[in-house]
A = this chain, B = another copy of it.
């Protein structure tokens, strides 16, 4: 009754993405680091981790660090992929400054459906190696 039908909220996707980045730079994600990165309190992180652990997306034991499960990493990578695609579109196509492109991408990545995103990507690609057309 909840194998995959349970959709992830934008908030939870942000947590996964943050954990992915922290794992990259230190092999492990600590609660306080996640809190700092997402600008939320530690209890908020604890609550989110409990939720994500319940979905089998992160491994997390009391007073320990958090790590993505295989499934969690898969989703986190997907979110990151969307993030990068959007950010690149904003900078390359629309010439939006890096900082603003970054923060805007953070919001759009939770809103754009895959098929819509594909149009963004295709357009950016066509500009890159087609120069126009």
Q: Mark A residues whose CB is within 8 Å of B.
A: 90, 93-96, 100, 104, 107-108, 111-113, 115-116, 119-120, 123, 132
Contacts and interface: CB of A to CB of B under 8 A. Distances in A.
A104 B96 contact: no
A123 B116 CA distance: 18
19 contacts: A90-B116, A90-B119, A93-B123, A94-B119, A94-B120, A94-B123, A95-B119, A96-B116, A96-B119, A100-B115, A100-B116, A104-B111, A104-B113, A104-B116, A107-B111, A108-B108, A108-B111, A111-B111, A132-B132
Contacts of A96: 116, 119
Determine the main DSSP class of A at the interface with B: helix
Contacts of A111: 104, 107-108, 111
A130 to B, nearest CB: 11
A96 B116 CA distance: 7
Residue of A90, A111, A113, A132 with highest tally of chain B CB at under 10 A? A111
A17 to B, nearest CB: 17
A112 B104 contact: yes
A90 B123 CA distance: 11
